[in-house]
Each structure stands twice: as structure tokens, then as C-alpha cells.
Amino acid sequence: MESYVLRVWLPDRPGALGAVASRIGAVKGDVVGIEILETGAGQAVDELVVQLPDATLVDLLVAEVRQVDGVQVEEVRAVGPEGHDPRRATLETAARLVAATDRPSLLAVARDQAPRSLQAAWVAVIDLDPAITLVAGDRAPSEGWLAAFVHGASSAVSLGGTDGQSSDVIWAPCEGVGLAVVAGRDRIVWRDRERRQLEALAEIVALRWAELPA
């Protein structure tokens, strides 16, 4: 069996999810996991983990789901050998952050482990004053870009504007220690639950940073 993550927009009405599941079943697919990423404005964004008997059925799966009135498919991606369990990955990241014995290893966990729990292409930790990159994944933008992004985003918040987030890059301050955690990925829009997840990880980074020796 092949496993895929199907991210869909659903109208927030009774029976919509059941109709999607029925279409998945029509192509011999099996829904083995559901995560609600965001709700509002009469719509919900869900991630469905679907098992298919054959990879050649992916296009047919997407076509079937799109037949449901009001449903849009935002993305479909194959599940890697490690599986798809964001909650477990987040707990593992939190455990490793707590277990870090010094600041360099704390930063390394944020860079190397957090992308898996966030389904991010890269994660970076920025020192806000001065604006320098302490650590960043290989696919992260340049240090200058990261510094400019966080400065602009934090300025927007302080002026009472938007939260300073974009569709493909998000950030969260590490309160009290002058750091920020930034995460990015390609094409896939960040949703409310994922933003809150990053905020929780940034809070753990802040607590451990304050506890560990400089």
C-alpha cells in the first residue's frame, strides 16, 4: 500500500467529509488519518492520510475528490518511510529540546528536528539584536533575507498591523530571550494549527535558552 497526504478545502457543512471519504473509497483508497488545520469563513482545511493499493491511482483520487461540490484539493504528497504523524514528531522535537545540554545543541535540534514536526523545508533561529542568524537549515534563505523578514514582521506586529506572516514563511518570537524561530517551505500555505505549533516550539526554545549557560 502507498500512503499519501491529501490537503483539501471542505465546505463547513454536514456530510462534506463523508462525501470526500466516499470518493476516496471509490478508487479503493482508505482514509487512515485526519487532521483539521484551519476553520473559518464557512470552510475547513483538512489533511487526510490516504492509503492506495497503487501509486498510479493518485491522479484518479484527486479527480474523484474534486467532484464533491465545494471541495478543492490544495496539495497531495507521498508519505515518506518515516510515516506521517505530526503530533508524535512534535513531541519528539519537544523532548529533544528539553534534553539539550547546551545552547549549541539546542539550536541544532531546532534546525534539524523541528522541520520534520512542522513539515517545513527549513528552520532557522535568529538573534533579534543584533539581527544575526544563529543557525539555519541548508535550504533557508540568506542571513540578510532572514534578518529583513523578521525585522519587517516584528515591526508590523508592534505597529498593530498584521501578524507579519506570509504564506510560505512564518516566525515566532522566543519571549524574554531576544530570539525568534523562523520556518519556511515551498508552495504549501501555513495554517492556524501549524502556526500555533511553531509558537509552542519557540516557547520551549526560550525556556531552555534561559536555563542553559551562555
User: How does pLDDT run across 26-51, given as a tens digit for each residue?
Assistant: 999 999 999 889 888 889 999 999 99
Whether 119 and 196 share a structural domain: yes
Whether 72 and 111 share a structural domain: no
Whether 196 and 111 share a structural domain: yes
CB 174 within 8 A of CB 181: yes
Whether 61 and 101 share a structural domain: no
Which CATH number is 42's domain given? Answer: 3.30.70.260
Which CATH number is 132's domain given? Answer: 3.30.450.40
Q: Work out the number of other CB atoms within 10 angstroms of the CB of residue 91.
A: 12
Whether 107 and 200 share a structural domain: yes
Domain final residue pick, 78, 105, 127:
78
Three-state SS at 136: strand
Whether 162 and 123 share a structural domain: yes
Strand order, beta sheet including 131-136: 131-136, 122-128, 179-184, 169-174
Whether 94 and 51 share a structural domain: no
The number of distinct structural domains making up the chain is 2
Whether 181 and 122 share a structural domain: yes
185-196 pLDDT per residue, tens:
987 889 888 999
- Count the alpha carbons within 13 Å of 70 in the hemisphere toward its beta carbon: 13
CB 131 within 8 A of CB 145: no
Q: Report pLDDT for 160.
A: 39
Q: Report pLDDT for 25.
A: 94
Q: Which domain holds residue 117?
A: 86-211
Q: Band of the pLDDT at 158, cuts 50, 70, 90?
A: very low
Domain final residue pick, 50, 78, 106:
78
pTM of the complete model beyond 0.95: no
Whether 41 and 144 share a structural domain: no
Domain final residue pick, 60, 78, 96:
78
**Interacting residues of 102 by C-beta distance below 8 A, sequence separation 6+:** 212, 213
**Interacting residues of 68 by C-beta distance below 8 A, sequence separation 6+:** 16, 19, 20, 23
Q: Averaged over 8-27, what is the pLDDT?
A: 92
What distance in Å separates the CA atoms of residue 105 and residue 93, rounded to the nearest whole number? 13
> DSSP E strands: which ranges in the chain?
2-11, 30-40, 43-52, 72-78, 122-128, 131-136, 169-174, 179-184
Whether 62 and 150 share a structural domain: no
